[in-house]
Structure 1
Amino acid sequence: MTIKSQTEWQQEVIAYAKELKLPMIRKLAAEHASEANLEDSSYEAFLAQLLQKECDARRESARYHRIRRAEFPQKKYLEDLSVEDLPNDAQKKLSNLKSLDFIREGRNAIFSGNPGTGKSHIAIGLGMKACLEGYKVWFTTVPILVNRIKETRAENTLRNFQSRFEKYDLVIADEMGYISFDKEGAEQLFTHLSLRAGRKSTIITSNLSFERWGEIFQDEVMTAAMIDRLTHQAHIVNMNGSSYRMKETEEWLNAQ
Protein backbone atom coordinates (compact mmCIF):
# COMPACT_ATOMS: atom_id res chain seq x y z
CA MET A 1 0.00 0.00 0.00
CA THR A 2 1.33 3.40 -0.96
CA ILE A 3 2.17 5.61 2.01
CA LYS A 4 0.51 8.99 1.65
CA SER A 5 0.82 12.18 3.60
CA GLN A 6 -2.05 13.67 5.55
CA THR A 7 -2.45 16.34 2.89
CA GLU A 8 -2.69 13.73 0.15
CA TRP A 9 -5.37 11.81 2.08
CA GLN A 10 -7.31 15.04 2.57
CA GLN A 11 -7.12 15.76 -1.14
CA GLU A 12 -8.48 12.29 -1.89
CA VAL A 13 -11.37 12.77 0.55
CA ILE A 14 -12.19 16.07 -1.12
CA ALA A 15 -12.05 14.48 -4.58
CA TYR A 16 -14.31 11.58 -3.57
CA ALA A 17 -16.73 13.95 -1.83
CA LYS A 18 -16.93 16.04 -4.97
CA GLU A 19 -17.61 12.99 -7.15
CA LEU A 20 -20.28 11.76 -4.74
CA LYS A 21 -21.80 15.26 -4.48
CA LEU A 22 -21.15 15.70 -0.75
CA PRO A 23 -20.35 19.43 -0.56
CA MET A 24 -20.31 19.78 3.24
CA ILE A 25 -17.90 16.88 3.63
CA ARG A 26 -15.71 18.38 0.92
CA LYS A 27 -15.78 21.71 2.74
CA LEU A 28 -15.34 20.50 6.32
CA ALA A 29 -13.31 17.29 6.10
CA ALA A 30 -9.90 18.87 6.75
CA GLU A 31 -11.17 21.05 9.60
CA HIS A 32 -12.95 18.15 11.32
CA ALA A 33 -9.96 15.87 10.85
CA SER A 34 -7.75 18.39 12.68
CA GLU A 35 -10.28 18.70 15.50
CA ALA A 36 -10.63 14.91 15.74
CA ASN A 37 -6.85 14.54 16.05
CA LEU A 38 -6.72 17.15 18.81
CA GLU A 39 -9.62 15.54 20.70
CA ASP A 40 -8.43 12.00 19.98
CA SER A 41 -11.88 11.13 18.61
CA SER A 42 -12.67 7.71 17.26
CA TYR A 43 -12.96 7.14 13.53
CA GLU A 44 -16.66 6.43 14.03
CA ALA A 45 -17.25 9.74 15.84
CA PHE A 46 -15.34 11.66 13.17
CA LEU A 47 -17.32 10.04 10.36
CA ALA A 48 -20.68 10.44 12.14
CA GLN A 49 -20.08 14.14 12.75
CA LEU A 50 -19.17 14.73 9.10
CA LEU A 51 -22.23 12.83 7.88
CA GLN A 52 -24.43 14.75 10.31
CA LYS A 53 -23.22 18.05 8.82
CA GLU A 54 -23.99 16.77 5.33
CA CYS A 55 -27.47 15.63 6.34
CA ASP A 56 -28.20 18.91 8.13
CA ALA A 57 -27.16 20.88 5.06
CA ARG A 58 -29.32 18.75 2.78
CA ARG A 59 -32.35 19.13 5.02
CA GLU A 60 -31.87 22.90 5.13
CA SER A 61 -31.46 23.03 1.36
CA ALA A 62 -34.63 20.95 0.90
CA ARG A 63 -36.57 23.31 3.18
CA TYR A 64 -35.34 26.31 1.24
CA HIS A 65 -36.35 24.79 -2.10
CA ARG A 66 -39.79 23.70 -0.82
CA ILE A 67 -40.47 27.26 0.36
CA ARG A 68 -39.19 28.75 -2.91
CA ARG A 69 -41.30 26.37 -5.02
CA ALA A 70 -44.38 27.12 -2.91
CA GLU A 71 -44.44 30.63 -4.46
CA PHE A 72 -45.58 32.45 -1.32
CA PRO A 73 -46.09 36.17 -2.03
CA GLN A 74 -44.18 36.87 1.18
CA LYS A 75 -42.92 34.95 4.16
CA LYS A 76 -45.33 34.99 7.08
CA TYR A 77 -44.90 32.87 10.19
CA LEU A 78 -47.49 31.70 12.71
CA GLU A 79 -45.17 32.89 15.46
CA ASP A 80 -45.64 36.48 14.25
CA LEU A 81 -49.39 36.38 14.81
CA SER A 82 -50.89 38.29 17.71
CA VAL A 83 -53.27 35.47 18.62
CA GLU A 84 -55.31 37.54 21.07
CA ASP A 85 -56.21 39.93 18.21
CA LEU A 86 -57.57 37.16 15.98
CA PRO A 87 -61.31 36.44 15.76
CA ASN A 88 -62.52 34.16 18.58
CA ASP A 89 -63.09 31.14 16.37
CA ALA A 90 -59.54 31.38 14.97
CA GLN A 91 -58.10 31.59 18.49
CA LYS A 92 -59.93 28.38 19.43
CA LYS A 93 -58.96 26.40 16.34
CA LEU A 94 -55.43 27.63 15.59
CA SER A 95 -53.70 25.24 17.97
CA ASN A 96 -55.27 22.21 16.30
CA LEU A 97 -54.43 23.50 12.82
CA LYS A 98 -50.81 24.16 13.82
CA SER A 99 -50.38 20.44 14.47
CA LEU A 100 -50.82 19.97 10.68
CA ASP A 101 -52.92 16.88 11.35
CA PHE A 102 -55.37 18.17 8.76
CA ILE A 103 -52.69 17.75 6.09
CA ARG A 104 -51.85 14.23 7.24
CA GLU A 105 -55.58 13.41 7.13
CA GLY A 106 -56.17 15.07 3.75
CA ARG A 107 -58.73 17.51 5.16
CA ASN A 108 -59.41 21.05 4.00
CA ALA A 109 -59.37 24.26 6.02
CA ILE A 110 -61.59 27.18 5.05
CA PHE A 111 -61.11 30.66 6.51
CA SER A 112 -64.11 32.85 5.81
CA GLY A 113 -64.72 36.39 7.04
CA ASN A 114 -64.31 40.08 6.51
CA PRO A 115 -61.04 41.58 5.16
CA GLY A 116 -58.02 42.26 7.34
CA THR A 117 -58.66 39.65 10.03
CA GLY A 118 -55.60 37.47 9.38
CA LYS A 119 -56.90 34.88 6.92
CA SER A 120 -53.97 35.06 4.49
CA HIS A 121 -51.41 35.36 7.29
CA ILE A 122 -52.67 32.17 8.94
CA ALA A 123 -52.84 30.37 5.59
CA ILE A 124 -49.28 31.33 4.61
CA GLY A 125 -48.04 30.59 8.13
CA LEU A 126 -49.50 27.09 7.98
CA GLY A 127 -47.98 26.67 4.52
CA MET A 128 -44.55 27.77 5.74
CA LYS A 129 -44.74 25.37 8.67
CA ALA A 130 -45.77 22.58 6.31
CA CYS A 131 -42.76 23.29 4.06
CA LEU A 132 -40.42 23.17 7.04
CA GLU A 133 -41.88 19.80 8.04
CA GLY A 134 -41.36 18.27 4.62
CA TYR A 135 -44.67 18.79 2.84
CA LYS A 136 -44.99 19.95 -0.77
CA VAL A 137 -46.99 23.18 -0.82
CA TRP A 138 -48.22 25.57 -3.49
CA PHE A 139 -49.71 29.02 -2.88
CA THR A 140 -51.92 30.78 -5.38
CA THR A 141 -54.81 33.19 -5.45
CA VAL A 142 -58.06 31.86 -6.88
CA PRO A 143 -58.06 34.34 -9.79
CA ILE A 144 -54.47 33.40 -10.70
CA LEU A 145 -55.35 29.70 -10.43
CA VAL A 146 -58.25 30.09 -12.85
CA ASN A 147 -56.05 32.01 -15.32
CA ARG A 148 -53.30 29.38 -15.01
CA ILE A 149 -55.79 26.62 -15.78
CA LYS A 150 -57.05 28.46 -18.86
CA GLU A 151 -53.50 29.11 -20.06
CA THR A 152 -52.43 25.48 -19.72
CA ARG A 153 -55.60 24.38 -21.47
CA ALA A 154 -54.85 26.70 -24.38
CA GLU A 155 -51.26 25.42 -24.51
CA ASN A 156 -52.34 21.76 -24.35
CA THR A 157 -50.44 21.27 -21.09
CA LEU A 158 -53.51 20.99 -18.87
CA ARG A 159 -52.97 17.33 -18.05
CA ASN A 160 -49.44 17.99 -16.78
CA PHE A 161 -50.72 20.87 -14.66
CA GLN A 162 -53.51 18.70 -13.23
CA SER A 163 -51.02 15.98 -12.36
CA ARG A 164 -48.83 18.43 -10.40
CA PHE A 165 -51.87 20.08 -8.82
CA GLU A 166 -53.16 16.74 -7.50
CA LYS A 167 -49.85 15.79 -5.90
CA TYR A 168 -49.24 18.81 -3.67
CA ASP A 169 -49.73 17.90 -0.02
CA LEU A 170 -51.23 21.35 0.50
CA VAL A 171 -52.62 23.91 -1.94
CA ILE A 172 -53.46 27.37 -0.58
CA ALA A 173 -56.09 29.08 -2.73
CA ASP A 174 -56.31 32.64 -1.43
CA GLU A 175 -58.92 35.30 -2.15
CA MET A 176 -61.96 33.26 -3.10
CA GLY A 177 -64.68 35.79 -3.81
CA TYR A 178 -62.74 38.87 -4.87
CA ILE A 179 -63.81 38.39 -8.49
CA SER A 180 -66.47 36.24 -10.16
CA PHE A 181 -65.77 33.87 -13.05
CA ASP A 182 -67.23 33.06 -16.40
CA LYS A 183 -68.79 29.61 -16.86
CA GLU A 184 -65.56 28.02 -18.13
CA GLY A 185 -63.50 29.41 -15.26
CA ALA A 186 -66.02 28.27 -12.65
CA GLU A 187 -66.20 24.77 -14.13
CA GLN A 188 -62.41 24.40 -14.32
CA LEU A 189 -61.95 25.62 -10.73
CA PHE A 190 -64.59 23.15 -9.54
CA THR A 191 -62.92 20.32 -11.47
CA HIS A 192 -59.43 21.02 -10.14
CA LEU A 193 -60.44 21.46 -6.51
CA SER A 194 -62.52 18.29 -6.78
CA LEU A 195 -59.41 16.37 -7.88
CA ARG A 196 -57.98 16.87 -4.38
CA ALA A 197 -61.17 16.36 -2.36
CA GLY A 198 -60.82 13.68 0.31
CA ARG A 199 -57.19 12.92 -0.58
CA LYS A 200 -55.07 16.07 -0.32
CA SER A 201 -55.51 19.25 1.70
CA THR A 202 -56.58 22.62 0.37
CA ILE A 203 -56.78 25.87 2.31
CA ILE A 204 -59.35 28.35 1.03
CA THR A 205 -59.60 31.93 2.23
CA SER A 206 -62.68 33.95 1.35
CA ASN A 207 -64.21 37.28 2.28
CA LEU A 208 -67.66 35.88 1.47
CA SER A 209 -69.87 33.60 3.54
CA PHE A 210 -70.94 30.34 1.87
CA GLU A 211 -74.40 31.83 1.27
CA ARG A 212 -72.77 34.34 -1.12
CA TRP A 213 -70.55 31.92 -3.07
CA GLY A 214 -73.24 31.85 -5.74
CA GLU A 215 -72.06 35.35 -6.64
CA ILE A 216 -68.71 33.84 -7.65
CA PHE A 217 -69.88 30.83 -9.64
CA GLN A 218 -73.20 32.19 -10.90
CA ASP A 219 -74.63 28.68 -10.92
CA GLU A 220 -76.61 27.39 -7.95
CA VAL A 221 -76.03 23.71 -8.67
CA MET A 222 -72.26 24.12 -9.11
CA THR A 223 -72.05 26.34 -6.04
CA ALA A 224 -73.83 23.75 -3.89
CA ALA A 225 -71.58 20.98 -5.23
CA MET A 226 -68.42 23.04 -4.64
CA ILE A 227 -69.36 23.86 -1.06
CA ASP A 228 -70.29 20.22 -0.40
CA ARG A 229 -66.94 18.95 -1.72
CA LEU A 230 -64.78 21.54 0.01
CA THR A 231 -66.48 21.47 3.41
CA HIS A 232 -66.79 17.70 3.83
CA GLN A 233 -64.96 16.93 7.10
CA ALA A 234 -63.15 20.26 6.72
CA HIS A 235 -62.04 22.74 9.38
CA ILE A 236 -64.30 25.78 8.98
CA VAL A 237 -62.95 28.91 10.68
CA ASN A 238 -65.13 31.99 11.12
CA MET A 239 -62.83 34.96 10.56
CA ASN A 240 -65.35 37.75 11.11
CA GLY A 241 -63.94 40.23 13.58
CA SER A 242 -61.97 43.43 13.97
CA SER A 243 -59.41 44.19 11.28
CA TYR A 244 -56.08 42.71 12.34
CA ARG A 245 -54.39 44.60 9.52
CA MET A 246 -55.90 47.93 10.57
CA LYS A 247 -54.63 47.44 14.12
CA GLU A 248 -51.11 46.78 12.81
CA THR A 249 -51.34 49.92 10.64
CA GLU A 250 -52.44 52.04 13.60
CA GLU A 251 -49.57 50.70 15.75
CA TRP A 252 -47.10 51.47 12.97
CA LEU A 253 -48.42 55.00 12.56
CA ASN A 254 -48.29 55.62 16.32
CA ALA A 255 -44.67 54.47 16.38
CA GLN A 256 -43.58 57.02 13.74
Structure 2
Amino acid sequence: MDKKLVQETKDYIKALRLAGIRGDLIERVGEAYKDDQSYEEFLRDVFRKAYDVRKENSRKRRIKNAKFPYKKYLSDIIAEYLPDSAQEKLKELKTLKFINDNRNIIFSGNPGTGKTHLSIGLGIKACNEGYKVFFATVPQLINTLKETRSEKRLRSFEKKFEKYDLIILDELGYISFDKEGSELLFSFLSLRAERKSTIITSNLSFDRWNEIFNDPALTAAMVDRLTHKSYVLNMNGNSFRMKETKDWLEKSS
Protein backbone atom coordinates (compact mmCIF):
# COMPACT_ATOMS: atom_id res chain seq x y z
CA MET A 1 0.00 0.00 0.00
CA ASP A 2 1.38 3.39 -1.01
CA LYS A 3 0.86 5.46 2.17
CA LYS A 4 1.82 8.70 0.44
CA LEU A 5 -0.83 8.12 -2.22
CA VAL A 6 -3.43 7.27 0.45
CA GLN A 7 -2.63 10.47 2.36
CA GLU A 8 -2.92 12.53 -0.81
CA THR A 9 -6.31 10.91 -1.45
CA LYS A 10 -7.40 11.70 2.11
CA ASP A 11 -6.42 15.34 1.58
CA TYR A 12 -8.64 15.49 -1.51
CA ILE A 13 -11.50 13.87 0.42
CA LYS A 14 -11.13 16.45 3.20
CA ALA A 15 -11.12 19.32 0.70
CA LEU A 16 -14.28 17.94 -0.94
CA ARG A 17 -15.89 17.47 2.50
CA LEU A 18 -16.91 13.89 1.85
CA ALA A 19 -17.83 12.70 5.33
CA GLY A 20 -17.59 9.01 6.07
CA ILE A 21 -14.60 8.20 3.88
CA ARG A 22 -11.43 9.78 5.22
CA GLY A 23 -11.36 8.24 8.70
CA ASP A 24 -11.19 4.59 7.71
CA LEU A 25 -9.73 4.88 4.21
CA ILE A 26 -6.57 2.91 5.01
CA GLU A 27 -8.65 0.09 6.51
CA ARG A 28 -10.93 0.06 3.48
CA VAL A 29 -8.01 -0.05 1.06
CA GLY A 30 -6.52 -2.92 3.06
CA GLU A 31 -9.80 -4.84 2.92
CA ALA A 32 -10.06 -4.25 -0.82
CA TYR A 33 -6.57 -5.74 -1.35
CA LYS A 34 -7.39 -8.68 0.91
CA ASP A 35 -10.70 -9.45 -0.80
CA ASP A 36 -9.29 -8.82 -4.29
CA GLN A 37 -12.08 -6.30 -4.79
CA SER A 38 -12.51 -4.71 -8.20
CA TYR A 39 -12.00 -0.96 -8.63
CA GLU A 40 -15.70 -0.57 -9.42
CA GLU A 41 -16.81 -2.36 -6.26
CA PHE A 42 -14.33 -0.43 -4.11
CA LEU A 43 -15.50 2.93 -5.43
CA ARG A 44 -19.15 1.95 -5.04
CA ASP A 45 -18.64 0.88 -1.41
CA VAL A 46 -16.63 3.98 -0.53
CA PHE A 47 -19.18 6.38 -1.97
CA ARG A 48 -22.12 4.40 -0.60
CA LYS A 49 -20.64 4.83 2.88
CA ALA A 50 -20.21 8.56 2.26
CA TYR A 51 -23.81 8.79 1.07
CA ASP A 52 -25.13 6.92 4.12
CA VAL A 53 -23.13 9.12 6.51
CA ARG A 54 -24.31 12.31 4.83
CA LYS A 55 -27.91 11.12 4.84
CA GLU A 56 -27.74 10.25 8.54
CA ASN A 57 -26.08 13.57 9.41
CA SER A 58 -28.79 15.43 7.50
CA ARG A 59 -31.49 13.53 9.36
CA LYS A 60 -29.94 14.40 12.73
CA ARG A 61 -29.51 18.02 11.67
CA ARG A 62 -33.17 18.31 10.65
CA ILE A 63 -34.26 17.03 14.07
CA LYS A 64 -31.87 19.38 15.86
CA ASN A 65 -32.95 22.39 13.79
CA ALA A 66 -36.62 21.61 14.41
CA LYS A 67 -36.16 22.74 18.04
CA PHE A 68 -38.32 20.06 19.61
CA PRO A 69 -38.47 20.61 23.39
CA TYR A 70 -37.91 16.86 23.86
CA LYS A 71 -38.18 13.73 21.74
CA LYS A 72 -41.41 11.79 21.51
CA TYR A 73 -42.01 9.00 19.03
CA LEU A 74 -45.16 7.63 17.45
CA SER A 75 -43.96 4.14 18.32
CA ASP A 76 -44.25 5.03 22.03
CA ILE A 77 -47.94 5.87 21.78
CA ILE A 78 -50.41 3.35 23.15
CA ALA A 79 -53.20 3.87 20.63
CA GLU A 80 -56.02 2.68 22.89
CA TYR A 81 -55.12 5.42 25.37
CA LEU A 82 -55.86 8.12 22.81
CA PRO A 83 -59.27 9.74 22.36
CA ASP A 84 -61.46 8.07 19.71
CA SER A 85 -60.86 10.77 17.10
CA ALA A 86 -57.09 10.29 17.28
CA GLN A 87 -57.36 6.51 17.24
CA GLU A 88 -59.42 6.68 14.05
CA LYS A 89 -57.00 9.00 12.21
CA LEU A 90 -53.64 7.85 13.58
CA LYS A 91 -52.87 5.34 10.82
CA GLU A 92 -53.66 7.91 8.13
CA LEU A 93 -51.65 10.69 9.81
CA LYS A 94 -48.62 8.40 10.13
CA THR A 95 -48.37 8.26 6.32
CA LEU A 96 -47.54 12.02 6.38
CA LYS A 97 -49.69 12.45 3.29
CA PHE A 98 -51.14 15.55 4.94
CA ILE A 99 -47.78 17.28 4.39
CA ASN A 100 -47.75 16.57 0.66
CA ASP A 101 -51.38 17.71 0.49
CA ASN A 102 -50.57 20.94 2.41
CA ARG A 103 -53.23 20.15 5.00
CA ASN A 104 -53.27 21.31 8.60
CA ILE A 105 -53.96 19.29 11.73
CA ILE A 106 -55.72 20.78 14.74
CA PHE A 107 -55.49 18.81 17.98
CA SER A 108 -58.05 20.33 20.33
CA GLY A 109 -58.88 19.05 23.81
CA ASN A 110 -58.12 18.97 27.50
CA PRO A 111 -54.54 18.62 28.82
CA GLY A 112 -52.76 15.29 29.01
CA THR A 113 -54.52 13.52 26.14
CA GLY A 114 -51.51 13.20 23.81
CA LYS A 115 -51.71 16.34 21.69
CA THR A 116 -48.07 17.38 22.05
CA HIS A 117 -46.82 13.78 21.95
CA LEU A 118 -48.62 13.18 18.65
CA SER A 119 -47.38 16.49 17.24
CA ILE A 120 -43.74 15.86 18.10
CA GLY A 121 -44.00 12.23 17.00
CA LEU A 122 -45.31 13.29 13.59
CA GLY A 123 -42.66 16.01 13.42
CA ILE A 124 -39.78 13.62 14.12
CA LYS A 125 -41.14 11.12 11.60
CA ALA A 126 -41.30 13.94 9.05
CA CYS A 127 -37.67 14.88 9.80
CA ASN A 128 -36.65 11.25 9.35
CA GLU A 129 -38.33 11.18 5.96
CA GLY A 130 -36.61 14.32 4.70
CA TYR A 131 -39.10 17.08 5.50
CA LYS A 132 -38.06 20.38 7.02
CA VAL A 133 -39.86 20.92 10.35
CA PHE A 134 -39.99 23.60 13.04
CA PHE A 135 -41.56 23.47 16.52
CA ALA A 136 -42.53 26.37 18.78
CA THR A 137 -45.13 27.21 21.37
CA VAL A 138 -47.59 29.86 20.22
CA PRO A 139 -46.40 32.39 22.86
CA GLN A 140 -42.78 31.87 21.72
CA LEU A 141 -43.73 32.47 18.10
CA ILE A 142 -45.69 35.62 18.86
CA ASN A 143 -42.81 37.05 20.90
CA THR A 144 -40.45 36.34 18.00
CA LEU A 145 -42.83 37.92 15.49
CA LYS A 146 -43.04 41.06 17.64
CA GLU A 147 -39.26 41.24 17.98
CA THR A 148 -38.63 40.83 14.26
CA ARG A 149 -41.27 43.44 13.45
CA SER A 150 -39.70 45.96 15.82
CA GLU A 151 -36.31 45.26 14.23
CA LYS A 152 -37.81 45.53 10.72
CA ARG A 153 -36.94 41.89 9.98
CA LEU A 154 -40.48 40.53 9.91
CA ARG A 155 -40.71 39.85 6.17
CA SER A 156 -37.37 38.03 6.03
CA PHE A 157 -38.43 35.97 9.05
CA GLU A 158 -41.73 35.07 7.37
CA LYS A 159 -39.96 34.11 4.14
CA LYS A 160 -37.71 31.77 6.11
CA PHE A 161 -40.70 30.06 7.67
CA GLU A 162 -42.54 29.73 4.37
CA LYS A 163 -39.89 27.15 3.43
CA TYR A 164 -40.72 24.75 6.25
CA ASP A 165 -42.74 21.75 5.10
CA LEU A 166 -44.31 21.47 8.55
CA ILE A 167 -44.58 23.92 11.43
CA ILE A 168 -45.87 22.72 14.79
CA LEU A 169 -47.41 25.34 17.08
CA ASP A 170 -48.09 24.08 20.59
CA GLU A 171 -50.19 25.46 23.44
CA LEU A 172 -52.66 27.73 21.69
CA GLY A 173 -55.04 28.86 24.39
CA TYR A 174 -52.91 28.93 27.51
CA ILE A 175 -52.14 32.64 27.15
CA SER A 176 -54.32 35.33 25.57
CA PHE A 177 -52.78 37.88 23.19
CA ASP A 178 -52.94 41.59 22.65
CA LYS A 179 -54.19 43.00 19.33
CA GLU A 180 -50.71 43.11 17.80
CA GLY A 181 -49.96 39.51 18.71
CA SER A 182 -53.29 38.28 17.34
CA GLU A 183 -52.83 40.10 14.04
CA LEU A 184 -49.24 38.89 13.64
CA LEU A 185 -50.22 35.28 14.28
CA PHE A 186 -53.11 35.54 11.83
CA SER A 187 -50.86 36.97 9.12
CA PHE A 188 -48.20 34.34 9.76
CA LEU A 189 -50.65 31.45 9.49
CA SER A 190 -52.38 32.97 6.48
CA LEU A 191 -49.11 32.87 4.54
CA ARG A 192 -49.00 29.10 5.00
CA ALA A 193 -52.69 28.39 4.34
CA GLU A 194 -53.09 25.70 1.65
CA ARG A 195 -49.41 26.09 0.73
CA LYS A 196 -47.70 24.33 3.63
CA SER A 197 -48.78 22.23 6.60
CA THR A 198 -49.20 23.42 10.17
CA ILE A 199 -50.05 21.41 13.27
CA ILE A 200 -51.71 23.32 16.12
CA THR A 201 -52.49 22.02 19.58
CA SER A 202 -55.04 23.80 21.74
CA ASN A 203 -56.73 23.17 25.06
CA LEU A 204 -59.74 25.21 23.92
CA SER A 205 -62.56 24.34 21.53
CA PHE A 206 -63.08 26.71 18.59
CA ASP A 207 -66.04 28.41 20.23
CA ARG A 208 -63.67 29.63 22.96
CA TRP A 209 -60.87 30.92 20.74
CA ASN A 210 -62.21 34.45 21.05
CA GLU A 211 -60.98 34.28 24.67
CA ILE A 212 -57.45 34.20 23.22
CA PHE A 213 -57.75 36.67 20.37
CA ASN A 214 -60.32 39.06 21.88
CA ASP A 215 -61.58 39.92 18.39
CA PRO A 216 -64.65 38.05 17.07
CA ALA A 217 -64.02 38.92 13.41
CA LEU A 218 -60.35 37.90 13.51
CA THR A 219 -61.19 34.74 15.47
CA ALA A 220 -63.79 33.70 12.88
CA ALA A 221 -61.35 34.36 10.04
CA MET A 222 -58.59 32.44 11.86
CA VAL A 223 -60.78 29.38 12.45
CA ASP A 224 -62.03 29.45 8.86
CA ARG A 225 -58.50 29.73 7.44
CA LEU A 226 -57.01 27.02 9.66
CA THR A 227 -59.76 24.45 9.41
CA HIS A 228 -60.30 24.55 5.63
CA LYS A 229 -59.40 21.06 4.30
CA SER A 230 -57.79 20.28 7.67
CA TYR A 231 -57.85 17.35 10.05
CA VAL A 232 -59.64 18.53 13.17
CA LEU A 233 -59.26 16.00 15.99
CA ASN A 234 -61.27 16.14 19.19
CA MET A 235 -58.70 15.27 21.88
CA ASN A 236 -61.01 15.47 24.87
CA GLY A 237 -60.68 12.39 27.01
CA ASN A 238 -58.94 10.87 29.99
CA SER A 239 -55.37 11.97 30.63
CA PHE A 240 -52.86 9.98 28.58
CA ARG A 241 -50.14 10.96 31.05
CA MET A 242 -52.15 9.75 34.03
CA LYS A 243 -52.66 6.36 32.37
CA GLU A 244 -48.93 6.08 31.62
CA THR A 245 -48.12 6.99 35.23
CA LYS A 246 -50.60 4.44 36.54
CA ASP A 247 -49.07 1.72 34.32
CA TRP A 248 -45.58 2.67 35.51
CA LEU A 249 -46.62 2.53 39.16
CA GLU A 250 -48.26 -0.87 38.68
CA LYS A 251 -45.14 -2.26 37.02
CA SER A 252 -42.94 -0.82 39.78
CA SER A 253 -44.98 -2.25 42.64
- Length-normalised TM-score, structure 2: 0.97
Indicate yes or no: 2:151 matched with 1:185.
Answer: no
Regions of 4+ moved over 3 Å: none
Residue in structure 2 matched with residue 128 of structure 1 by the alignment: 124
Residue in structure 2 matched with residue 160 of structure 1 by the alignment: 156
Q: Which letter maps to 1:71? A: K
Residue 13 (structure 1) aligned to one of 9, 13, 36: 9
Superposed, 1:73-152 pairs within 5 Å as 73-152=69-148
The count of aligned residue pairs is: 252
Give distance in 2, aligned partners of 1:76 and 1:70: 13
Unaligned ranges ≥5, structure 1: none
Residue in structure 1 matched with residue 201 of structure 2 by the alignment: 205
Give distance in 1, aligned partners of 2:215 and 2:13: 60
Structure 1, 160-169 or 227-236: larger mean CA deviation: 160-169
Give distance in 2, aligned partners of 1:204 and 1:18: 43
Give distance in 2, aligned partners of 1:231 and 1:119: 17
Give distance in 1, aligned partners of 2:146 and 2:234: 31
Q: Which letter maps to 1:149? A: L
Q: Deviations over 1:70-121 (max 9, x none)?
A: 0000011101111111111101101111101100111101111111000000
Give distance in 2, aligned partners of 1:178 and 1:93: 25
- Length-normalised TM-score, structure 1: 0.96
Superposed, 1:21-32 pairs within 5 Å as 21-32=17-28
Q: Which letter maps to 2:148? A: T
SS of the residue aligned with 1:195?
helix
Unaligned ranges ≥5, structure 2: none
Overall identity of the aligned pairs, in %: 59
Residue in structure 1 matched with residue 38 of structure 2 by the alignment: 42
Preserved contact between residue 28 and residue 50 of structure 1 (Cα < 8 Å): no
Give distance in 1, aligned partners of 2:147 and 2:11: 47
